[in-house]
Copies of this chain bind each other. A is one copy, B any other.
Amino acid sequence: MSQRPRHAPDPARRRETSRRAILTAAFELAGEVGYSGLSIEGIAARAGVGKQTIYRWWPSKGAVLLDALMLALQGEAPQENAAPQDDAALPDTGDLRADLKTVLRATVAELNDPRFDGPLRALAVEMLNDPLLAARYAEHIEKPMRRMKTARLHSAQRAGELPQDADLGLAVELLWGTLRAAWLERHRPLTPAYADLIVDTVLDGLRAGARR
């Protein structure tokens, strides 16, 4: 069931310093040279590490990048057995509209952070080519985040702020997905006002006479 690849390396013998050096180098290089300029060879050189040490522990360039981002974002790479921040939750003041604006504005700020732009784009591109990487990302980042988001919407549903039959998954896609697409495809500058606009429009809809 939990079948390992041939000659699986022993994680207990793994050298932590090399792991950190690799992830740091990958993160920095992704920011400096972008996705298309990122290479395993470059990461190994910058990290002062043999290429084999990368190939030993990661199945692909994208997997390195994912761990690098998780290290940079959360201060730690995903642990197989450790649930990542189960206690984290979105703010819940009782006012869904205000809370969503707060959160989407924070997302805007994060996506505008020049340190994360390069690595995040590189990871996004990698995931389009690599379903396994996308699955890993979904497992470790997408799913927990989506759970938090859905939880907040569900709370609003219970409070009567959202209809009982609302499709909360689609709501997440409309709110955050639209923001993410605007960032990824650069067709809009990301501003707090844009975040607010998304929230208002998604909550109120486009129907004539809708009041905000």
8 Å CB contact of A207 from B121, B162, B184: B162
A113-169 at interface with B (beta carbon < 8 Å): 121, 124-125, 127-129, 131, 134, 138, 142, 160-163, 166-167
A78–B170 CA distance with the chains assembled, in angstroms: 35
Oligomeric state, in copies:
4
Rounded to whole Å, the gap between the CB of A138 and the closest CB of chain B is: 8
Rounded to whole Å, the gap between the CB of A33 and the closest CB of chain B is: 11
Q: For the complex, would chain A's binding face be called helix, strand, loop or mixed by DSSP majority?
A: helix
Q: Is the CB of A197 within 8 A of B210?
A: no
Interface string of A168-212 (1 = CB under 8 A from B): 001101100110111011111000000001100111111111110
Q: Is the CB of B208 within 8 A of A160?
A: yes
A27 contacts the other chain (Cβ, under 8 Å)?
A: no
8 Å CB contact of A171 from B131, B177, B201: B201
Q: Which A residues contact B (CB, under 8 angstroms)? A: 34-36, 121, 124-125, 127-129, 131, 134, 138, 142, 160-163, 166-167, 170-171, 173-174, 177-178, 180-182, 184-188, 197-198, 201-211
